[in-house]
């Protein structure tokens, strides 16, 4: 379940082996992920240099020497693995693909020497990759501020939540309000801020949004730090991230004691998604 911290960790893992490198060969093992690939996906990538890899919300954005931009979303189960060792006979002859390996990027340096082989695997295929031509707009143009940026602060959040009648949990998942938050970290941030997820978003008090913003930033920064600690493992082996090893205070802890007050953690459904919270200390 990649959220912003994990996508940031993935970006940090991929950037050293992709930036400044050329897409030597691109292999698509199917015609679509969540959405169909551009019919010229392969042709538009091969031979192009990836000049910069960045993250916006939960998207990875690769800027190409052609001016095209490649947006990649990991969906629910997407992950990249990097193999920067020389290709063995098996891999050369079979492509070395495993089940659900949908895309393979074989990178080269500017002299045509083989670089990293980067494989995108996505069991549930909720992820997608889309190419955007220069000047073309993309869905990311309408999303809210990055939560770790200075543009995301308490006055900004108050303004965006003003008059919102939806529940605060649902509102924080709305990417137009703040970019990159997912179910897990919204639950955790609301617990730390002691705000009941069922409260109307527009009714939060000033000090509550102050505290909420602080906790959103803290928890994301901590999670990125945790993911970063296992970057080496991610880059070289099987995609395991510190993220998954993180123990959450309320997420997935139904009926377990709240770490603050020992009351049982409750689970409800909001907008079709599970919400975990403590009814005793979140008001």
Partner DNA sequence: TAGTTCACCTGAAAGC
Partner DNA sequence: TGCTTTCAGGTGAACT
Active site includes 58? Answer: yes
Of positions 9, 48, 83, 183, contacts DNA by CB under 7 A = 183
Choice from 11, 44, 55, 58 touching DNA (CB under 7 A): 58
247 lies in the site for DNA, by CB under 7 A: no
- The catalytic position among 199, 217, 267, 273 is 273
Orientation angle between helical segments 206-228 and 154-161, nearest 10 degrees: 110
129 is an interface residue for DNA by CB under 7 A: no
| Residues 65-124, interacting with DNA (CB under 7 A) | 73, 75-77, 99-100, 123-124
> According to CB under 7 A, which one of 66, 97, 166, 196 is a site residue for DNA?
166
Contact call for residue 208 and DNA (CB under 7 A): no
At closest approach, how far in Å is the CB of 127 from DNA?
Answer: 9
Burial class (CB in 10 A: 0-12, 13-18, 19+), 233: middle
Instruction: Count residues near DNA (CB under 7 A).
Output: 34
How far is Cα 52 from Cα 20, in angstroms, rounded to an integer?
A: 7
Is the Cβ of residue 164 or residue 246 nearer to DNA in the bound state? 164
Is residue 54 part of the contact set for DNA (CB under 7 A)?
no
Among 93, 165, 207, 238, indicate the residue that binds DNA (CB under 7 A).
165
Among 139, 203, 232, 283, indicate the residue that binds DNA (CB under 7 A): 139
Q: Is 214 in the site for DNA (CB under 7 A)?
A: no
Whether 124 is catalytic: no
Which residue numbers are catalytic?
A: 2-3, 58, 273
Give the footprint of DNA on this chain (CB under 7 A): 1, 3, 34, 57-59, 73, 75-77, 99-100, 123-126, 139, 163-167, 170, 173, 175, 182-184, 251, 269, 271-274
């Amino acid at each position: 379940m990649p959220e912003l911290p994990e996508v940031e960790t993935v970006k940090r893992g991929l950037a050293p082996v992709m930036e400044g490198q050329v897409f030597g060969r691109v292999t698509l093992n199917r015609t679509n992920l969540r959405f169909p690939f551009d019919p010229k996906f392969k042709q538009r990538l091969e031979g192009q240099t990836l000049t910069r890899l960045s993250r916006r919300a939960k998207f990875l954005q690769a800027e190409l020497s052609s001016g095209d931009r490649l947006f990649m979303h990991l969906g629910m189960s997407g992950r990249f693995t990097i193999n920067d060792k020389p290709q063995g006979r098996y891999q050369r002859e079979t492509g070395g693909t495993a089940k659900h390996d949908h895309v393979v990027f074989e990178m080269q340096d500017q002299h045509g020497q083989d670089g990293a082989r980067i494989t995108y695997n996505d069991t549930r295929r909720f992820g997608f990759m889309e190419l955007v031509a220069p000047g073309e707009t993309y869905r990311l143009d309408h999303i809210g501020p990055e939560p770790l940026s200075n543009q995301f602060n308490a006055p900004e959040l108050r303004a965006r939540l003003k008059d919102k009648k939806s529940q605060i949990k649902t509102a924080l998942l709305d990417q137009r309000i703040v970019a990159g938050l997912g179910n897990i970290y919204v639950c955790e941030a609301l617990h730390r801020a002691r705000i009941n997820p069922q409260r109307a978003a527009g009714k939060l008090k000033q000090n509550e949004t102050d505290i909420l913003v602080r906790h959103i930033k803290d928890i994301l920064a901590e999670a990125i730090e945790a993911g970063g600690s296992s970057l080496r493992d991610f880059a070289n082996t099987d995609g395991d991230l510190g993220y998954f090893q993180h123990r959450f205070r309320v997420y997935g802890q139904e009926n377990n004691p709240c770490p603050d007050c020992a009351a049982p953690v409750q689970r409800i459904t909001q907008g079709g998604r599970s919400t975990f919270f403590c009814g005793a200390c979140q008001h």
